[in-house]
């Protein structure tokens, strides 16, 4: 009986522990996969936005050589580009004399202007300004700065297309690290007029990483191919005196162990133990640069206890129950042994006593030989056998009851695992929504809209509409960003009212939206725009006593399987609509107006 209970309790406890841990790790792996996709989508959005800056500039190609000659016109152009591409941290221009003028914003939302004092190589100053670059206060300086000596400048003049640089230090703040996408500006004869550049700072990347942690105590880090930590949500990994840290066993022990474990098995959950705590991690790759010259590693890791506190409690309960069963089995076995063997020993002693004639018994055998002794012992054992069997049956019923109790406990533990799995699945669905939906307006985000547009435009032709809210910056400055967010949500709701069901709509910039219409003629597009203008005019945003009337400008291009070309055309038409009085639509002229 003791061996039976031991063999039952141990396997059940061990099997339950292993199966529940496997289910949790598989669920965590799926969560990490969706979280890594969300981070990659954000990086895709930035890199795509960076290339769109230069696509945006093509509309001014003929004007740029004249614009760069005048400081005010150049700064106005830089501010205009930056305001249309809000995910870019800094946009700037460097001339062949080593001077630079730059405009952007830091992670705290301050607008920063950086400018060479004399327009050439020499002293450099930085200022906090308003969104137009005016009303500035100096916050830093550099005694000497020459843009032509920077790697991003030299890489740009050696290439015909925009080129990504490696990580480098800021011109003013040496602790501010970032990467630059730079492009040379040439005249008609191919002579260098200067270099355009735009920056992604590591501080802004870190703020994005913190939003994608899967748990309260979890971390996200980005490494290069030399295992240098480019960005991390863990402040212990940030650059020290402008120098990036490298993954090491001394400074980053958990990250070091996880990276080593995943060198051979990529994109799978790995576990490690550090200072009596279990950690779970996931590593995936992200290529950047032309021809994927550079490759980043995204590392997600968290304490296992963040994901499964209920599992830990269940494991502890299972082990405690198993231990109780083992102790009960030993105690029960001892009692059973004493209870079963004692009557047999007493029976044997009594049989011997009777055989020796020490105690008189009523025996119907008159012989005192071995047969008489056997008969006497058999009669005595028979009289006790019925009592022993009855007791064994009671013990068997008790064993059945205990097994039923153990089975009920196992069912309860399985139900706990099931509920935990459902909760993790719901979290998985929420992460999936974050990867595709704009959190403010509830419509497709930029990455998901272009993914759908590429698929739809490959199957059928249609109209691509680019919409930009008029005077949105003025609304933000006058009423604040919270009202600005309400304006964006109100505008989205009005757009959806004039569109047919299932029409593709997405937010592709700060106040820029895109609509894809199929099976529509030029007149249909004009009617949609007319309906939208009328609805906007009669439906102002009413918020806490304010009444704000919204208007929009629209550029519309007919797309025949080339969404990038259609976007460039629609963006130019949007620019025309803006400079022709706003609150109007400019459509692309077609060879066949019936389309």
- List, for residues 435-452, the tens digit of each pLDDT value: 799 999 999 999 999 999
Q: With bands split at pLDDT 50, 70 and 90, how would you rate the model's confidence at 477?
A: very high
In the sheet that holds 277-288, the strands lie side by side as 229-232, 219-223, 294-303, 277-288, 270-274
- Average pLDDT of the chain to the nearest whole number: 82
Please give the angle made by the CA atoms of 479, 481 and 487, to the nearest 5 degrees. Answer: 80
Question: In this predicted structure, what is the pLDDT of residue 277?
Answer: 86
Helix (H, G, I), strand (E, B) or coil at 298: strand
Query: Quick one: average pLDDT of 261-282?
Result: 78
Q: How many residues are given for the chain? A: 595
State the CB neighbour count (10 A cutoff) for residue 485. Answer: 13
Pull the structure tokens for residue 270. 């790995």
What whole-number percentage of the chain has pLDDT above 70?
79
> Residue 556 pLDDT > 80, yes or no?
yes
The residue with greater pLDDT, 229 or 473, is: 473
Q: What is the dihedral of CA 551, 555, 556, 562, to 10 degrees?
A: -140
Q: What is the largest CA-CA distance in the chain?
A: 139
Cα 589 to Cα 250, 322, 570, 595: the distances in Å are 65, 79, 11, 11
Element (H, E) at 519: none
Query: Quick one: average pLDDT of 482-509?
Result: 94
Q: With bands split at pLDDT 50, 70 and 90, how would you rate the model's confidence at 294?
A: low
Query: Quick one: average pLDDT of 99-124?
Result: 88
Q: Look at 239-253, 402-416, 547-561 and tell me which has the smallest mean pLDDT.
A: 239-253
The residue with greater pLDDT, 382 or 360, is: 382
> Residue 594 pLDDT > 50, yes or no?
no
Radius of gyration from C-alpha coordinates of the chain: 38
Question: 261-296: buried (b, 16+ CB within 10 Å) or exposed (e) per residue?
Answer: ebeeeeeebbbbeeeeeebbbbbbebebbeeeebeb
State the CB neighbour count (10 A cutoff) for residue 203. Answer: 18
Answer yes or no: are the C-beta atoms of 120 and 145 closer than 8 Å: no
Q: How far apart are CA 276 and CA 180, in angstroms?
A: 42
């Amino acid at each position: 009986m003791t061996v039976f209970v031991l063999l039952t309790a141990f396997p059940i406890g061990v099997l339950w522990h292993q199966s529940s841990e496997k289910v949790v790790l598989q669920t965590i792996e799926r969560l990490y996969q969706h979280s890594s996709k969300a981070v990659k989508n954000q990086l895709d959005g930035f890199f795509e936005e960076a290339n769109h800056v230069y696509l945006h500039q093509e509309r001014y190609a003929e004007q740029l050589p004249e614009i760069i000659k005048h400081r005010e016109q150049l700064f106005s152009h830089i501010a205009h580009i930056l305001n249309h591409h809000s995910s870019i941290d800094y946009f700037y221009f460097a001339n062949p004399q080593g001077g630079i003028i730059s405009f952007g914003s830091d992670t705290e939302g301050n607008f920063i202007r950086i400018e060479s004092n004399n327009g050439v190589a020499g002293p450099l100053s930085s200022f906090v300004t308003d969104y137009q670059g005016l009303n500035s206060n100096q916050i830093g300086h550099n005694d000497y700065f020459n843009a032509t000596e920077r790697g991003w400048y030299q890489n740009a003049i050696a290439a015909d297309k925009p080129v990504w640089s490696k990580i480098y230090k800021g011109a003013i703040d040496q602790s501010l690290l970032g990467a630059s996408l730079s492009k040379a500006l040439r005249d008609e004869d191919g002579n260098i007029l200067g270099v355009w550049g735009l920056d992604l700072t590591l501080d802004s990347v870190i703020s994005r990483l913190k939003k994608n942690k899967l748990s309260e105590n979890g971390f996200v880090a980005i490494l290069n191919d030399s295992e240098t930590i480019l960005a991390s949500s863990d402040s212990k990994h940030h650059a020290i005196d402008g120098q990036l840290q490298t993954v090491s066993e001394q400074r980053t022990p958990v990250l070091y162990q996880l990276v080593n474990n995943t060198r051979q098995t990529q994109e799978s959950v790995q576990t490690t133990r550090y200072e009596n705590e279990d950690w779970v991690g996931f590593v995936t790759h992200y290529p950047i640069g032309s021809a994927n010259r550079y490759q980043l590693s995204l590392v997600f890791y968290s304490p296992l206890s963040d994901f499964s506190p209920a599992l830990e409690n269940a494991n502890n309960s299972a082990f405690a129950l198993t231990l109780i069963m083992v102790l009960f089995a030993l105690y029960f076995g001892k009692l059973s042994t004493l209870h079963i063997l004692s009557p047999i020993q007493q029976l044997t002693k009594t049989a011997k006593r009777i055989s020796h004639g020490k105690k008189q018994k009523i025996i119907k055998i008159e012989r005192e030989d071995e047969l008489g002794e056997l008969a006497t012992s058999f009669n005595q054992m028979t009289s006790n056998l019925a009592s022993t069997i009855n007791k064994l049956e009671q013990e068997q019923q008790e064993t059945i009851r205990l097994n039923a109790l153990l089975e009920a406990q196992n069912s309860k533990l399985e139900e706990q695992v099931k509920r935990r799995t459902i909760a993790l699945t719901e979290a998985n669905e929420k992460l999936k929504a974050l990867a595709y939906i704009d959190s403010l307006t509830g419509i497709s985000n930029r990455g998901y809209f272009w993914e759908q547009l590429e698929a739809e435009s490959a199957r059928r032709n249609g109209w691509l509409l680019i919409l930009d809210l008029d005077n949105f910056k003025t609304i933000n400055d006058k009423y604040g960003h919270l009202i600005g967010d309400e304006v964006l949500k109100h505008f989205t709701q009005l757009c959806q009212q004039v569109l047919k069901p299932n029409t593709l709509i997405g937010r592709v910039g700060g106040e820029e939206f895109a609509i894809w219409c199929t099976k529509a003629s030029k007149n249909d597009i004009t009617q949609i725009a007319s309906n939208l203008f009328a609805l906007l005019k009669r439906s102002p945003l009413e918020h806490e006593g304010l009444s704000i009337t919204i208007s929009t400008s629209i550029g519309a291009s007919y797309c025949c399987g080339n969404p990038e070309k259609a976007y460039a055309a629609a963006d130019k038409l949007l620019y025309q609509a803006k400079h022709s009085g706003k609150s109007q639509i400019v459509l692309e002229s077609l060879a066949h107006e019936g389309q």
